[in-house]
Amino acid sequence: MFKFNNVVEQVLLLGLLPILGGSRNLLTAVIVTAVFVLIALLSRMISRIIKIEALADSHWIFLLAFGISIAYVCYLATAYLYPEVYQYSGMYILLVGVTPLTYIGCKEEVSFSSLWKKINVFFVAILLVAFFRELIGFGSIVGRDLMEVGFAPLSIFGQSAGGFVILGTIWILFRLLAVLGKINLEYFQLEGAEMNE
């Protein structure tokens, strides 16, 4: 049986909540990704400054408290700057602060290039899901209506059901392309400590 154990699967699983919750439309996806990148980079910087050995395993709690504080500030900023994004997806901006994927760069064995690759995979995944959810579920792209008067979009795809189905379909397509050899899986290889059984 083909084994799927690569960076894409890791990113999609560890970042499943922001990908699903933050993909209501393209604008939301970009904001959620910006918050994710900000917290990921800042927490990585903090983890390199503080003495992790002195805090032992409790360093995760310290980093999480820092991350959720930044996420809360971003949540309040979104409420002020983008009220429509805040109204429907504000909570997911806050929850980026407790998403495991956000803190993967804090591990010593994860290099910056590896973190950057994960960030890119996350961005592409959330954009793809958001594009199809907005197109099918709301009949628009970046808020611009594409459907003629009289055509109704499949609004169920704008809801949670659409998130699940579209992400599941994209995931299967990625696996299919990998099995067919159209995607070079060597590029998405995981580093030793991140492997999952």
* Residues found near another protein in the complex (CB under 8 A): 1-2, 4, 9-10, 12-14, 16-17, 20-21, 60-61, 64-65, 68-69, 72, 91, 94-95, 98-101, 103-104, 107, 110, 156, 159-165, 167-169, 171-172, 175-176, 179, 190, 193-196
Least Å distance between CB 104 and another protein?
6
Rounded to whole angstroms, the Cα distance separating 81 from 195 reads 40
**Is residue 137 a contact partner of residue 159, using CB atoms and an 8 Å limit?**
yes
Least Å distance between CB 144 and another protein?
26
How far is C-alpha 121 from the geometric centre of its chain's CA atoms? 8
**Secondary structure (DSSP) of 68-100:** HHHHHHHHHHHHHH-HHHHHHHHHHHHHGGG-G
For another protein, give the closer residue by CB, 57 or 148.
57
Least Å distance between CB 34 and another protein?
19
For another protein, give the closer residue by CB, 26 or 63.
63
Of 68, 35, 65, 30, residue with least CA distance to 50: 65
Least Å distance between CB 65 and another protein?
7
Of 79, 123, 130, residue with least CA distance to 101: 123
